[in-house]
Structure 1
Amino acid sequence: MSRRPPRTSPDPIDKYVGSRVRARRVGLRISQTKLGDSIGVTFQQVQKYENGTNRIGASNLYKISRQLGVDVSYFFQEMPEDLYDASNADPYGLSEPIAEPFESDPMAARDSIALVHDYQRIPDEILRQRMGQFMRALANSLNDYPDEDVEET
């Protein structure tokens, strides 16, 4: 098995993931030092992650996601398809992906995240349950009429 060719510049995917880390960190007003301390690395290492100079290992990406309050998939959302092609992601000559890509995750959409966040903010458990029942009933009623206009009653 041959070794991977040496990198001359940061991988575009690493740069994209790093930019998502930076955007979320800045949005939460967390310093590089504070994020680094919370995951056990220096602020310089966080800088390198955010610039894409160093790749973020799986364990550190998980720790970062926990500290920034997002799922790991957040860092890959809305990634342009052409980044994969531009990234030297195929150093071993695999012409096709080994597995089929995942379908779009509805829980990754901003409106879904906002809805779940607002739902969890309802302090009354019974009211939360009733809201869940209402949403299911609404969704089921819309599924009963997929191609028809629903008349108001």
Structure 2
Amino acid sequence: MKHPVDVHVGKRIRHRRWMTGVTQQQLADRVGIKFQQIQKYETGMNRVSASRLWDIAHALTVPVTFFFEGIDEAERSAEMAPPAQQNDMLSDREAQELLRSYYAIPEQQRRRLFDLARSLSDAA
């Protein structure tokens, strides 16, 4: 059975890889493993060891903590979300394009946009 933390870390790996335009094969080459292993990490089927997560973070130019960001919110969202939405959120092409566009915005403007989105969702 998949552990929720492994699934979350895997999603964050996939998210960062996708946002930087890196393929599974390219990431695997940078880390020195087969791309199938990256697939297993991204789905949460296999746990990522600390040293491997360190290598992946270095290859994707993020701190290791990046992969754990939002874990509490993710667990709460998963508990509250309808079952069909739980695994489909990041697989939706529109959501992926929104994320890519969001991260293309300069950080200060991105923070303002995030605050606006949060305010709008709280008001809904």
TM-score tier, shorter chain, comes to: 0.5 to 0.7
Give me the identity figure in percent: 41
Higher helix share: 2
Q: Whole-Å Cα distance in 2 between the matches of residues 53 and 80 of structure 1? A: 20
Query: Equivalent residue for 1:14?
Result: 6
Which of 24, 32, 38 in structure 2 is aligned with 1:32? 24
Query: Equivalent residue for 1:41?
Result: 33
Query: Equivalent residue for 1:80?
Result: 72
Structure 2 length normalisation: TM-score? Answer: 0.59
Aligned ranges for residues 55-74 of structure 1 at < 5 Å?
Answer: 55-74=47-66
Please list every run of 5 or more consecutive structure 1 residues that lacks an aligned counterpart in the other structure.
1-8, 84-109, 116-153
**Cα deviation, residue 82, structure 1:** 7.7
CA spacing shift, 1:23–1:81, aligned 2, 3 Å? closer
Query: Equivalent residue for 1:52?
Result: 44
Superposition misfits of 4+ residues, deviation over 3 angstroms: none
Q: Whole-Å Cα distance in 1 between the matches of residues 22 and 74 of structure 2? A: 31
Q: Whole-Å Cα distance in 1 between the matches of residues 69 and 28 of structure 2? A: 23
**Cα deviation, residue 80, structure 1:** 1.9
> What is the total number of aligned residue pairs between the two structures?
81
Aligned ranges for residues 63-142 of structure 1 at < 5 Å?
Answer: 63-80=55-72, 83=75, 114=107
Residues 127-151 of structure 1: CA deviation (Å, up to 9, x unaligned): xxxxxxxxxxxxxxxxxxxxxxxxx
**Cα deviation, residue 40, structure 1:** 1.1
Please list every run of 5 or more consecutive structure 2 residues that lacks an aligned counterpart in the other structure.
76-102, 109-124
Q: Whole-Å Cα distance in 1 between the matches of residues 63 and 73 of structure 2? A: 20
Q: Whole-Å Cα distance in 1 between the matches of residues 5 and 67 of structure 2? A: 10
RMSD: 2.4
